[in-house]
Amino acid sequence: MTALRLIHASAALTAAASLAVTLWTGIADRGVGLAFGVLIAVGELTRWSGAQVRQAAPLGTAGSLSYALLGADAGHPTHHDAPQVVTIVLAASLLGGVPHIWCGRTPTLDHLARRVLSVGFAAVCFQPLYNKGAFESWNGAAYALLLVALLVLTALCDALLAAALAHSRTHWPFGPLLRDELRGLLGIGSAVCSTGAVMALAVAVVGLWALPVFCLPLLLAQLSVRRYAAVRATYRQTIASLARATEIAGYTPTGHARRVAALSLAVGRDLGLSGPGLTVLEYAALMHDIGQLSLVDPVPAGATAALPREEQRRIALLGGAVVRQTGVDAAVAVVVERQADPCREQPLAARIVRAVNAYEEKARDAGPDGPLRALEELRLATAGDYAPEVVESLARVLSRDCLTLPAAG
């Protein structure tokens, strides 16, 4: 939590210092500041409050970055400084975020901390030098490349902040979280940065009328991303419904696939999986028992971990064949098919699903000491059946849930 407190404290000090300086010196170019403030507030009002996304308010972010890198208005140099940029961005973000704060739908404090620090970074890098005339000789392509370079640095700074905040709150490895953030910059993040640069350049030439014109493409892109996320959510719900077929038919206990998927995701994140790897792991964990539908007589309590190796292999191969017929990614079918393979020959996702499935079967309905005994049984079987690194990762994940565990070995 040290990084979390440090980021929040830095953002609070930056905001307080900027507000004090702005109140002392007054607001320059009030019309320009008001126009960008309205744009940022509207962007915050349209902030995505549904599924978790890396860029929840693309329009507000683009407007903030554009104001931080604004040097002129219709050919006339602007005179606002970095503290004024931070003050207006913070005030507009708070105003536009009131409905979200009231409903408690998004992590507003982290969102504001990232916004203040990233915009402050861009403004400090640009405004003091511009106001001193350092960029007067930079024309055309050179000036545009300067803005793009500053936006790239700002995006990297924001990715570091986002990964640090996520690491502090979830305790997942920092490296995979940072990779996810950097991967996200190639999508909506690149659209946000390019729109911010284009708006700053357009306002410098034609004035504030450029703002509504260049906002429309980003709003349409945001709508497309929302629709894509809705399709992905529906796709996942379809897979989850298909996985429940074994529960409805009485082959596995209720909620087994969901519990295995949730715990497998936690172990996968602890081991450094991210992005598409986590998606494949989740889908495979949800559908890992679907091969049991081919059995004439159900396995008692659906506990396949206690079956002979050949029977486990047959169920896994039948499950993979079913997954391939559903049109799911072939990588998911491979993970399902290889659950019964020798441990050292399995891909990492198959090792995780196998170990977590065995733990859930052994710990289920086993009393208060069931989780400890189940984990110890997995540790004793690491010589051949389960991957040692997966079992120890499972132990770390369980320990975060306040479960007392025996020492490894």
**Can you tell me the distance from the alpha carbon of 358 to that of 105, in angstroms, rounded to the nearest whole number?**
36
Q: Please tell me whether residues 160 and 49 are part of one structural domain.
A: yes
Query: Quick check: 83 pLDDT over 90?
Result: yes
Query: Quick check: 231 pLDDT over 70?
Result: yes
Q: What is the pLDDT of residue 53?
A: 47
Residue type, 60: G
Count of alpha carbons within 13 Å of 12, Cβ hemisphere only?
8
With pLDDT > 90 as the criterion, what percentage of the chain qualifies? 17
Task: Find out whether 247 and 256 touch, Cβ atoms under 8 Å.
Answer: yes
Q: What is the pLDDT of residue 82?
A: 92
Q: Which of 107, 279, 252 is nearest to 183 (CA)?
A: 279
The enclosing domain of 363 has a CATH number of 1.10.3210.10
DSSP string of 283-348, one letter each residue:
HHHHTTTGGGGG-SSPPGGG-GGGS-HHHHHHHHHHHHHHHHHTT--HHHHHHHHTTTS-GGGS-H
The answer to the question of residue 90 being in a domain is: yes
Q: What is the pLDDT of residue 14?
A: 94
With pLDDT > 70 as the criterion, what percentage of the chain qualifies? 91
The answer to the question of residue 131 being in a domain is: yes
Q: What is the pLDDT of residue 125?
A: 92
Task: Calculate mean pLDDT across residues 84-99.
Answer: 89
Q: Please tell me whether residues 170 and 210 are part of one structural domain.
A: yes
Task: Find out whether 89 and 143 touch, Cβ atoms under 8 Å.
Answer: no
Q: What is the pLDDT of residue 91?
A: 92
Last residue of a domain, one of 230, 254, 281: 230
The answer to the question of residue 16 being in a domain is: yes
Q: Please tell me whether residues 52 and 129 are part of one structural domain.
A: yes
The model's pLDDT over 253-311, given as tens digits with 9 standing for 90+, comes to 888 888 899 899 989 988 888 888 888 899 988 888 888 877 766 777 666 776 777 88
The answer to the question of residue 407 being in a domain is: no
Q: Please tell me whether residues 9 and 77 are part of one structural domain.
A: yes
Q: pLDDT confidence of 342, banded at 50, 70, 90? A: confident
Last residue of a domain, one of 230, 261, 292: 230
Residues of the domain holding 275: 244-399
Query: Quick check: 369 pLDDT over 80?
Result: no
Q: What is the pLDDT of residue 105?
A: 60
DSSP string of 96-115, one letter each residue:
HTHHHHHHT-S-HHHHHHHH
The model's pLDDT over 191-230, given as tens digits with 9 standing for 90+, comes to 888 888 889 989 988 888 888 888 888 888 778 777 877 8
Task: Calculate mean pLDDT across residues 179-190.
Answer: 81
Query: Quick check: 386 pLDDT over 90?
Result: no
Please state whether the predicted TM-score (pTM) of the whole model is above 0.75.
Answer: yes
The model's pLDDT over 94-120, given as tens digits with 9 standing for 90+, comes to 888 777 777 766 557 888 899 999 999
The answer to the question of residue 409 being in a domain is: no
The answer to the question of residue 236 being in a domain is: no
Q: pLDDT confidence of 408, banded at 50, 70, 90? A: very low
**Count of domains forming the chain:** 2
The model's pLDDT over 319-333, given as tens digits with 9 standing for 90+, comes to 888 888 877 778 888
**What single DSSP character describes residue 406?**
P
Q: What is the pLDDT of residue 406?
A: 40
The model's pLDDT over 16-67, given as tens digits with 9 standing for 90+, comes to 999 999 999 989 889 999 999 999 998 888 776 544 445 467 888 889 999 9
Q: Please tell me whether residues 94 and 217 are part of one structural domain.
A: yes
* Mean of pLDDT over the chain: 83
Q: Please tell me whether residues 226 and 249 are part of one structural domain.
A: no
Q: Which residue in this structure is represented by tokens 């970095």?
A: 82
Name which residue leads in pLDDT, 102 or 160.
160
Q: Please tell me whether residues 384 and 301 are part of one structural domain.
A: yes
Q: How far lies 83's CA from each of 6, 34, 62, 109, 321, in Å? A: 20, 15, 18, 20, 61
Query: Quick check: 407 pLDDT over 50?
Result: no
Q: Please tell me whether residues 285 and 178 are part of one structural domain.
A: no
The answer to the question of residue 73 being in a domain is: yes
Q: pLDDT confidence of 175, banded at 50, 70, 90? A: confident
Q: What is the pLDDT of residue 9?
A: 92
Q: Please tell me whether residues 155 and 275 are part of one structural domain.
A: no
